[in-house]
């Protein structure tokens, strides 16, 4: 009888203990979640796909918005891009350099060419060991089909006001003089690219010039070449941002551009155009006035 009474006594005690334990556990979790919500904010800005003029303008606005936000203590740029036009890449890089807050570039999969220029402007670069980094260089390209004209008896005649006005036209072969002229422009842009990376990464210009062969490097190779600062992913990028901003912890806040359906559709079409070989670039002169199809890309 005594044993049964003891059991009857223990059951409610056990139930009460479970309730108390559950309440305390829930309260602890609640406090932990509240602490997390109240943790300092780090902005996360994605840089994806082709970097063009319209895109760079929107990103620059987004970067300035994050920089002015008093709640934001640092900015992480999640990069997955093969590059873009010279001017657009330069504009984004400049916007990053002008921020007053610590910045981290996180190369998730691809940070090549113009996208690497952008990454180099950040205070620190984190990349996965298998990511693609580098491709420092400039390319000029256009389709030339004058021989197709010969096959069908078509002739090309254009009256121009200057010797280089139709340089790079797809309707005629490129002369050696025109090739030298266009290569001069490409080399000039290459010089700008190399100088920017050398300055941003605090590297010797001659050293960067030796890497500016257009070659791509894996993240593990880029680390040895001093093109990035450390290997890692999202977690490492966040820790790097916290260290730069002197934070013990942080929470990521995603900053995004406002895009409609047709904006997204257009970006996908541009990405396809890039990968099938057209590349990304601006014409040296407006097509409507000069019919020049020569494009420069980084």
Distance of CA 298 to the CA centre of its chain: 13
Predicted pLDDT of residue 121? 97
Sites in the chain below the pLDDT cut of 50: 2, 6, 31, 34-35, 260-262, 270-293
Token reading at 106:
């996180």
Q: Kindly state the tokens that stand for 12.
A: 């409610």
Nearest to 44 by CA among 80, 74, 82: 74
Rounded CA gap, 164 and 237, in Å?
48
95 touches 50 (CB < 8 A): no
Query: So where are the chain's domains?
Result: 39-297
Superfamily of domain 39-297: 2-enoyl-CoA Hydratase; Chain A, domain 1 (3.90.226.10)
Q: Is 42 exposed, middle or buried (0-12, 13-18, 19+ CB in 10 A)?
A: buried
CB under 8 Å to 229, separation ≥6 — which residues? 124, 125, 126, 223, 240
153: left (phi over 0), alpha (psi -120 to 50) or beta: left
298 neighbors 114 (Cβ within 8 angstroms): yes
What pLDDT score was predicted for residue 166? 67
Q: Is the dihedral of CA 17, 19, 25, 30 positive or negative?
A: negative
What's the whole-model pTM score?
A: 0.72
Spatial separation of the C-alpha atoms in residues 270 and 256, rounded to whole Å: 19
Within the chain, where are the H helices?
2-37, 53-68, 86-97, 114-120, 146-151, 176-200, 205-211, 219-224, 234-244, 261-273, 287-290
pLDDT at 158: 72
- Under 8 Å between Cβ of 189 and 86: yes
Catalytic residue numbers read 113, 165
Tokens of 98: 């002008």
CA 296 to chain centre: 19
- Tokens at 255, concatenated: 């900053």
pLDDT value of position 291: 40
pLDDT at 210: 94
């Amino acid at each position: 009888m005594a044993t049964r009474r003891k059991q009857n006594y223990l059951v409610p005690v056990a139930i009460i203990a479970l309730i108390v334990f559950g309440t305390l556990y829930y309260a602890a979790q609640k406090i932990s979640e509240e602490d997390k919500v109240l943790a300092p904010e780090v902005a996360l800005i994605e840089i994806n796909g082709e970097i063009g003029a319209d895109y760079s303008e929107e990103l620059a606005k987004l970067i300035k918005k994050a920089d002015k936000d008093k709640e934001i203590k640092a900015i992480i740029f999640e990069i997955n891009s093969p590059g873009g036009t010279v001017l657009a890449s330069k504009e984004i890089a400049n916007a990053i350099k002008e921020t007053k807050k610590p910045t981290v570039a996180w190369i998730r999969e691809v940070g090549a060419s113009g996208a690497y220029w952008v990454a180099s402007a950040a205070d620190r670069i984190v990349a996965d060991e298998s990511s693609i980094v580098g491709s420092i260089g400039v390319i000029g390209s256009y389709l030339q089909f004058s021989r197709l004209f010969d096959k069908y008896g078509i002739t090309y005649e254009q009256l121009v006001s200057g010797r280089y006005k139709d340089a790079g036209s797809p309707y005629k072969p490129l002369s050696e003089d025109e090739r030298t002229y266009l290569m001069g422009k490409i080399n000039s842009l290459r010089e700008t690219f190399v100088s920017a990376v050398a300055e941003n990464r605090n590297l010797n210009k001659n050293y960067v010039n030796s890497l500016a062969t257009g070659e791509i490097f894996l993240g593990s190779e880029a680390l040895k070449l001093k093109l990035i600062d450390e290997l890692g992913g999202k977690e490492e990028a966040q820790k790097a941002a916290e260290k730069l901003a002197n934070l013990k912890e942080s929470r990521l806040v995603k900053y995004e551009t406002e895009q409609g359906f047709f904006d997204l559709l257009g970006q996908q079409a541009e990405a396809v155009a890039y990968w099938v070989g057209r590349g990304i670039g601006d014409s040296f002169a407006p097509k409507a006035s000069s019919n020049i199809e020569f494009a420069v890309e980084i």
